Structure formats: structure tokens, C-alpha cells
A and B are shown apart, each in its own frame.
Chain A
Amino acid sequence: MKPEEEKYIIESVKRGDTELFNRIVEAYSPKILSVVRSVISCNEDAEEIAQDVFVKAFFSLGKFRGESSLSTWLYRIAYNMSLSKARVKRRSFVTLDNIKLSYDDHLNEERSELIDKERKYLILNNILESIEPSERVLISLFYNHHKSIREISEITGIGESNVKVKLHRIKRRLIEIANKKMEVRYG
């Protein structure tokens, strides 16, 4: 959505034209659902929270001053709401339905011969499960949503240098965990 279009829609909704809010929902639903799903495993819960994100956004639009982009503001609401829910409800496991995987190319060829698709799902599942929800969402914002360090800092409220350090640690840990899982399995 273009910034001018966003601004027009926000001003219209503030004035009472609530129908236009649907345009915001249509434009941002996929991204917000993706962010929430990176934290919450249960699809129904994730959809419920994503709906609540937009409801909260609707009633808080009056407070939106435009200091950040609408996208960042929505991501921030999604980030905060999904982490609050995750603290209440511990994530059980990521179901195979939630994982979309592409690969073989990037894994070691010898190993990839041994690993069939289902086992790979489980391994990756396990790897992602090994990190905290707050770390999962950070790494997802970086790789899946292509957010810059500055944008991630705005969304999460964490300082930029802190974001860099956290991302570096998460990446290192994921690699370690991934290597360990592979070694344990295949010697």
C-alpha cells in the first residue's frame, strides 16, 4: 500500500469511515498472520490473535500519530500481542501443516541423501522449537519479512545494537543446534 493511500485511509477511518479499514485488513493480513504464526503454533489461536491485532489497531487508530509507518505499527501490535499470549500459553510444537519447506540444495549432499522429507520436517521443527518465541519472531522478521535492523528495533522496542547482538546469537545457536541434530542422527 502506498504511503499516500495509507494516510488517506487512516484519516478517513479516524473521521468515521470504517469501511475503508477493510483495505488495511486485506493489505496486511498475510504478513500479520505470518508474524503471529512464528510465535504461536496453534493455527486457531494464531488466527484469533491476528484478528485481535486488527481490532486493537482499529480502536487505537486515533492514537496513531504517523511517526512510524502503518506497517511497523501493526507489526508492533502483533509482536506484543503474540508474545503476551505465548507467555500465557507455552508453545507445544509446530505442526507439520505449519511448516513450508523448500530445499535440499543447501544441505550437505551426503546428508541430504539420507534424510527424507518427513525426517527433515521433524528436524527443522525441532530446531525452531529449541529457541524462544521472542527469538523466533526476531529471526522471522529478519529473514521472512526482510525487515532492517532499524525496523526490527522499532517493532520490538529493542535498541538497534541489541537487535544485532540478539540476531547474531540466534543465528549462531540455530547453526549449532542444526549441526548437533544432524550429527546425533547420522553420526
Chain B
Amino acid sequence: MDDQDVFLKDIVSGLNDESVPYSFGYKIAAKIIKERERRERRAEMIQISVILTLAALLITLSLYYINSSLFNLSQEWLTLEGVNSIITHGSDKFKMIFFNKENIIWYIISVNSIALLTIERLLKKREY
């Protein structure tokens, strides 16, 4: 190192402050915990949003399918007469759709799905 380097080192040594404040480590740990919680909340929100979007899509498609195959409601029905007609004929349609031997298998599938979901939730709660 020549004289210039020594002189420069002297100037730059003013930048070399390695002192560590007392609670430095604790503050880092607290920030890590906070950040971890924020990330978990964000992941949960994303998960819920995706599930809700898929559920909404499924319900919409189901309703569309039910309407096109069973009710055939159109925009014309969105009048007072149309609503009255739905109420009058609706109960017959309701009975036809829901109290039908062919639909029993769907009831079994639905009940099983609900039962499985409920069991899964209960087991998850027990885990925590």
C-alpha cells in the first residue's frame, strides 16, 4: 500500500461503523414473525379467493345446466306474469326434479361429499 492508499484508507475508515445496537437480533426475530404471518394471511386469502371463484363458476354452470335442461327460463320470465307463472308451475317442477327416483344417486353423492368434507374439517381442527 502506498501513501495515497494509506491516506484514502484513513478517509474511508470514517465509514466503518460496525457497532451493533443492543436489541438488533430481537428486532429481526420480531420482523421475521410478522412477515411470516403476513405471508400466511396472503396465501390464505389467495386460497379462499380461488375456491370462491371456482365455487361461483360451478354454481353458475350448474344453474345454467338446470335451466337449459329443465326450466328453460328466458328473459321474458323476468316480468310479474312470468314470476307468477314460475310460482304456480314451480312446485310441480320442484317435485319433478327433486322427488325423482333417478336423482337418488345424486343425493347419495352429495351426502357423501358433505360428510367427507365435514370429517376433514373436524380432523383438521383436532390437529391444531
Contact = CB atoms under 8 A, between A and B. Distances in A.
A127 B8 CA distance: 11
Contacts of B35: 55, 59
Given A47-B21, A54-B28, A58-B32, A100 B14 contact: yes
Interface string B20-57: 11001101110110010001000000000000000000
B21 A144 contact: no
Contacts of A109: none
B17 A34 contact: yes
Q: Is the interface of B mostly helix, strand, loop or mixed?
A: helix
Q: Is the interface of A mostly helix, strand, loop or mixed?
A: helix
Interface residues of A, number: 42
A136 interface: yes
Contacts, number: 100
Given A47-B24, A100-B13, A140-B16, A55 B7 contact: no
A127 B11 CA distance: 8
Contact of B25 (A26, A102, A103, A174): A26
A30 B27 CA distance: 15
Contacts of B20: 29-30, 33
B93 interface: no
B12 interface: yes
A101 B21 contact: no
A186 B19 CA distance: 34
Interface of A: 18, 21-22, 25-26, 29-31, 33-34, 37-38, 47, 50-52, 54-55, 58-59, 94, 98-103, 106-107, 124-125, 127-128, 136, 139-140, 143-144, 171, 174-175, 178
Given A37-B17, A178-B7, 18 more contacts: A18-B32, A22-B25, A22-B29, A29-B24, A29-B25, A30-B18, A30-B20, A58-B32, A59-B32, A98-B15, A100-B16, A102-B10, A102-B13, A127-B11, A144-B13, A144-B16, A171-B5, A175-B8
